[in-house]
Amino acid sequence: MGEKEIILEDINPVEFFGVNDSNLELIKKYFPKLKIGVRGSQIKVIGDETETAKFEEKIRLLMLYYEKFGRLLKPDIARMLESESETMDEEFKTPKDVIVHGRHGKIIKARTINQQKMVESFNKNDLIFAIGPAGTGKTYTAVALAVRALKDKEVKRIILTRPAVEAGENLGFLPGDLRDKLDPYLQPLYDALRDMLPPQKLLSYLEDGTIEIAPLAFMRGRTLNDAIVILDEAQNASINQLKMFLTRMGEYSRFFVTGDVTQIDLPRNQRSGLIHAKEHLHNISGIDFIILDSRDVIRHKLVTKIINAYEKDQELKRPKQDSSSKK
Delineate the domains of the chain, giving CATH numbers in brackets.
2-82 (3.30.1370.10), 98-325 (3.40.50.300)
How does residue 167 score in pLDDT terms, banded at 50, 70 and 90? very low
Question: Please, what's the b/e burial string for 192-226 (b: 16 or more CB within 10 A of its CB; e: otherwise)?
Answer: bbebbbbebbbeebeeeebbbbebbeebeeeebee
Amino acid at 17: F
Could you read off the pLDDT of 41-99 as tens digits, one per residue?
A: 899 999 999 999 999 999 999 998 888 888 888 998 998 888 876 666 666 667 778 99
pLDDT above 50: residue 166? no
Please state whether beta strands 107-109 and 98-101 pair in parallel, antiparallel, or not at all (unpaired).
antiparallel
Q: How confident is the model at residue 12 (pLDDT cuts 50, 70, 90)?
A: confident
* β strands within 25-121, DSSP E: 35-39, 42-47, 98-101, 107-109
> Collapsing DSSP states into helix, strand and coil, what is residue 312?
helix
pLDDT in tens, 224-282: 999 999 999 999 999 999 999 999 999 999 999 999 998 888 888 889 999 999 999 98
- Of residues 88 and 223, the one with the higher pLDDT is 223
Total-model pTM: 0.79
Give the separation between CA 291 and CA 163, rounded to whole angstroms.
Answer: 21
Give the mean pLDDT of the chain. 85
Q: Is the pLDDT of residue 301 over 90?
A: no
Between the alpha carbon of residue 310 and those of residues 109, 130, 134, 137, 267, the distances in Å are: 28, 20, 12, 19, 20
Average pLDDT over residues 103-115: 90
